[in-house]
Copies of this chain bind each other. A is one copy, B any other.
Amino acid sequence: MRHSTYECNKGCPVEATLEIIGGKWKGVILYHLLENTYRFGELRKMMPGITQHTLTKQLRELEGDNLVLRKIYAEVPPRVEYSLTERGESLREIILMMRDWGRVHLGL
């Protein structure tokens, strides 16, 4: 929670939700994780354009907001798998609606 309740005005819930999923890459990360668990390197390949540094940071933030689960395997070379938590899963409908809106209204 980034805002305390008592200073929350009407638009707050919208604002707060956007703070969580509104990063440049977060929506896309979540979208990919909707269909599968992926390793770090796989996600990177799916999002050409994002740097390793930024991907790490976004994933950590999503993990911090409890939307994404980070599972580390004690192997060499290292293996780390990312999946949605239950809370992340609860965003499915919203993410899919945004995808559909983009398709329809932006011709993508």
Contacts and interface: CB of A to CB of B under 8 A. Distances in A.
A46 interface: yes
Contact of A17 (B14, B47, B102): B102
B91 A101 contact: yes
Contact of A22 (B12, B18, B93, B107): B18
A14 B1 contact: no
A63 to B, nearest CB: 16
- Determine how many copies of this chain the complex contains: 2
A107 B27 CA distance: 21
A27 B14 contact: yes
A87 interface: yes
Interface stretch (A3-11, A51-59, A70-78): A3-11
Contacts of A99: 13-14, 17
B90 A101 contact: yes
Nearest to A98: B17
5 contacts: A5-B107, A17-B98, A20-B106, A22-B23, A94-B98
